[in-house]
Every structure is written in structure tokens, then in C-alpha cells.
Structure 1
Amino acid sequence: MELNKIRNLSDAELKTEADKAAEQLFRLNFQRSLGNNEGVKKLKVLKQDIARMKTIARERQLGVRGAATVEVSAEPAKKTAKKATKKAAKKD
């Protein structure tokens, strides 16, 4: 599943999709253990999808998306401004 599609899901839909993917992953692992190697390529894709869904759910829980990028980009500017004023004070 694409990242944009995952981001557009509601919290309930996200949980439902993650549960479905986890169940598919379980079934494929079980089939693989029995010697059926047909869905081996799909294992990696399912693991990545589950990880993406969990990451987005955690971002929503923490409220990280959007605020962190603005905050992080603003911090280095403050530090460089402080360093510049300290250097100017030392030169005088």
C-alpha cells in the first residue's frame, strides 16, 4: 500500500488494515513453514506495509507530523544567531 493512501486512512481504518496485513503475514509464514513457497515475495511487502502503518499510527498518537519539521528547522537558526552574536561580542 502506498504511503499517501495510508496517511489518508482514519485511525479505525488504519487499525483494520494493519490487522488484515498482520493476519496475511501470519498465514504466509505458516504456509512457508509447510513448504509452500508461492507467497515469499509478498512477505517483505507485508512487513513493510505493517511497519508503515504502525509508524503513522504512532506519529498521530504523538502529534509529531508537521510540528516536528517546523520546530527542528527553526532551532538551528537560533543557535547560529546566538553564535554569531557571541563571536561579534568577542571581537569587540
Structure 2
Amino acid sequence: MQAYEIRELKDDEIARRLDEAYEELWGLRFKHSTNQLVDVTQIKRVRKDIARLKTVQREREIWAEYDAQQEQ
């Protein structure tokens, strides 16, 4: 998932996808530890997706704080 796609999502959708990504990462790590994971690059992809989701989430928090300060 690309950052521009994430920015189009609502806050609750980002939170839901972040939870799903953490669950997927846990499953992939479990499969990797039991030697059942064939494509280990999936772990890297999910980690990057989590980073993108958290980045956009933090951007929105910062903008909300900035807007609140401007209103005062």
C-alpha cells in the first residue's frame, strides 16, 4: 500500500488496517520461526506498510495539534 492511498483513508480505517497489519506480521513471524514461510520478503513488506500507516497517522495528529493552536 502506498502512502497516497493511505492518506485517502479515514482515521478509523487506518487504525483498523494497522491492527490487521500487526496481526499479519505476527503470523508471518510465527510461520518463519517454524520454517513454514516460503517468501520471507513478506515480513519486510508488512513492516513497511506498518511504518507507512503509522507515519500518516502521526502526520494527522501533528496537523490536528497545529490547527488547535491556530484557533487559540
TM-score clears 0.5 = yes
Q: Larger Cα Rg: Structure 1 or Structure 2?
A: 1
Q: Following superposition, which runs of at least 4 residues in structure 1 exceed 2 angstroms of deviation?
A: none
Q: Which runs of 5+ in 2 are unaligned?
A: 65-72
Residue 26 of structure 2 aligns with an amino acid whose one-letter code is F
Tell me the distance in 2 between the aligned counterparts of 1:19 and 1:12.
11
RMSD of aligned C-alpha atoms?
A: 1.3
Contact 1:14-1:53 at 8 Å conserved across structures = yes
Q: Secondary structure at the match of 2:35?
A: coil
Q: Which residue of 2 aligns with 1:25?
A: 25
Percent of matched pairs sharing the same residue: 38
TM-score, normalization: structure 2? Answer: 0.83
Instruction: Count how many residue pairs are aligned between Structure 1 and Structure 2.
Output: 64
Greater relative contact order, per chain length (Cα 8 Å cut-off, separation 6+): 2
Tell me the distance in 2 between the aligned counterparts of 1:37 and 1:27.
10
Q: Which runs of 5+ in 1 are unaligned?
A: 65-92
